[in-house]
Amino acid sequence: MAVILVALGAAVGAPLRYLVDRAVQGRHDSVFPWGTLVVNVVGSLLLGVLIGGAAVGTVPGSLVNLLGLGLCGALTTYSTFGYETIRLLEDGARFPALVNAGVSVVAALGAAFVGVALAEALWA
């Protein structure tokens, strides 16, 4: 059953990633990959809330499978982050590449920590 829940979540997360990325990137006339940054930070925040909720016994494992592993796993994208950072470097946009690498890692990890803290504050 867990595999089916993960697959269902991923079936929503992957197209959602594409649509959010295109919508966000379409609003910015910039080489910076804003869309990927947004999906990675939002997905990390949601995963943090789910994991924090599961840790205090409020969020069931089936919901973690569906939304955490499935949806968030497909919504967030480390491979695209890596590709876009390398592409920026190859295009000579060194500063945006360094900013993307630093901000993406710090913001996504920070969002995950905030999500866990938020869940624990709400449900503990």
Grade residue 32 by pLDDT with cuts at 50, 70 and 90: very high
The 10s digit of each residue's pLDDT in 75-114 is 999 999 999 999 999 999 999 999 999 999 999 999 999 9
| Residue 73 marked as a ligand binder | yes
Q: Are 34 and 100 in contact (CB under 8 A)?
A: no
Grade residue 124 by pLDDT with cuts at 50, 70 and 90: confident
Grade residue 50 by pLDDT with cuts at 50, 70 and 90: very high
Q: Are 65 and 2 in contact (CB under 8 A)?
A: yes
The 10s digit of each residue's pLDDT in 8-18 is 999 999 999 99
Pair of tokens at residue 104: 């993406």
